[in-house]
Amino acid sequence: MHIDPRKAALSVLAAGLMAAPAFAQDTIKIGVTQPLTGAFAASGNYVAQGAKIAEDEINAKGGVLGKKIQLVIEDNKSNPTEAVATVEKLIVRDKVPAIMGAWSSTLTLAVMPKVMEYKVPLVVETSSSGKITTAGNPYVFRIAPTSDMEAVAFTPLIDKLNIKKAAFLNTNNDFGIGSAKAYSEALKKKGVEIGVMETMDPKATDFSAQLTSIKASGADTLFVTTAVEQITLVLKQAKELQLDARIITTGGSNSPDQLIAQAGSAADGSYHVVFFPPWFPDVVKNPEAAKSYMTEWKKRGHEPGGMTEGFRGYDGIYTIAEAIKVAGKAEPAAIKDALWKVTVHGVYGDIKFTQQGPKGKESGQNVPSVYLVKIEDGKVVNPEL
């Protein structure tokens, strides 16, 4: 990102003479592609803020391999084609040896052929679609849980919540469709009736039509899968239409504190699947990592509601930094091999990768914890189930 124009001109003119020492710089660059504008902007910015906390912490402790790390953060505008363009820039222009991104499943799936083409490892901090780690792309390492993992973790709660008839409202992208598929299958196995399955465009803001038909279907529980902006609107509009079904949001990009702040009493009674519960930091596997992250997040004055999202970026950068340390050099192939060996004591839990996908070209998949929280009277509580 920080090209000196004179240097750029020089490199154009004299590129032939310079023996292009691609990775020999005084800093180690790490590429980040996140949706900083567009439909998923809130979440993307939180992840980028979390990533910057990790960058500063690592550099304060002396960096990696005696060098400071430097994040190159590109905005993929919540759009798959833009996401590909950012990865192209990060690899070809900035010559980063590893990338973290791209938040949404659709964005991640879009950039996967690019990282394979250039053989640069991609650490996936958020996306949940099963397709990502089963596509046979050996450069993909996901620390976030898949929708299937979520659904499996959720299964014991189906009886406890006494769900009889479920409805779905999800974005019509890989994230929403993948989640609805995983949860509806888990519910069917438990004998729950599946009512209407409605979708929405990731940019839509008016869901009255969908909610009206969900209300008419008589479902007792509505599963909602999208980013926090749309969840806020769904909660508000569900209340306006007096939808009395219990609302459960999946995917972990729901920022419950932000919902309380922005949807007010419309958020009461809703349940949320999250991957990090900052309200009860003692239940997580590595409380020290969690507390260090939370303290810094608060100190920087970031939006409190973003804490359940920002840790993904924080853990993602720590994972890449650890892999560089294990590799002993900041080169894509070495980092890729090292990612198989790392164990990071992160906020997600102990991050380590197991093989998933077709034999011979497996992707890495981490197995993190999943939590269900409830909003009651404007507060996040651990539901007594």
What is the C-alpha separation between 234 and 261, in angstroms, rounded?
15
What is the nearest approach in angstroms of another protein to the Cβ of residue 255? Answer: 12
What is the nearest approach in angstroms of another protein to the Cβ of residue 48? Answer: 11
What is the nearest approach in angstroms of another protein to the Cβ of residue 242? Answer: 5
Q: Are 364 and 357 in contact (CB under 8 A)?
A: no
Q: What is the CA radius of gyration of the chain?
A: 21
Residues that bind another protein (CB under 8 A): 1-5, 8, 11-12, 15-16, 20, 36-38, 41-42, 45, 75, 79-82, 84-85, 88-89, 92-93, 106, 109-110, 113, 171-174, 198-202, 204-210, 212-213, 216, 229, 232-233, 236, 239-242, 262-266
What is the nearest approach in angstroms of another protein to the Cβ of residue 238? Answer: 11
- The total of other beta-carbon atoms located within 10 Å of residue 288's CB is 10
With helix as H, strand as E and coil as C, how does the chain read?
CCCCHHHHHHHHHHCCCCCCCCCCCCEEEEEEEECCCCCCHHHHHHHHHHHHHHHHHHHHCCCECCEEEEEEEEECCCCHHHHHHHHHHHHHHCCCCCEEECCCHHHHHHHHHHHHHHCCCEEECCCCCCHHHHCCCCCEEECCCCHHHHHHHHHHHHHHCCCCEEEEEEECCHHHHHHHHHHHHHHHHCCCEEEEEEEECCCCCCCHHHHHHHHHHCCCEEEEECCHHHHHHHHHHHHHCCCCCEEEECCCCCCHHHHHHHHHHHHCCCEEEECCCCCCHHHCCCHHHHHHHHHHHHHCCCCHHHHHHHHHHHHHHHHHHHHHHHHCCCCHHHHHHHHCCCCEEECCEEECCEEECCCCCCEEECCCCCEEEEEECCEEECCCC
Nearer to another protein, 84 or 248 (CB): 84
What is the nearest approach in angstroms of another protein to the Cβ of residue 288? Answer: 30
Nearer to another protein, 58 or 107 (CB): 107
Instruction: Tell how far CA 179 is from the center of its chain.
Output: 14
Nearer to another protein, 129 or 286 (CB): 129
What is the nearest approach in angstroms of another protein to the Cβ of residue 240? Answer: 4
Nearer to another protein, 128 or 319 (CB): 128
What is the nearest approach in angstroms of another protein to the Cβ of residue 70? Answer: 14
Nearer to another protein, 179 or 366 (CB): 179
Nearer to another protein, 190 or 203 (CB): 203
Instruction: Say which residue the tokens 């922005």 belong to.
Output: 262
Nearer to another protein, 235 or 344 (CB): 235
Nearer to another protein, 135 or 161 (CB): 135
What is the nearest approach in angstroms of another protein to the Cβ of residue 280? Answer: 26
What are φ and ψ of residue 63, in 5° steps? 75, -160
What is the nearest approach in angstroms of another protein to the Cβ of residue 36? Answer: 6
Nearer to another protein, 305 or 364 (CB): 305
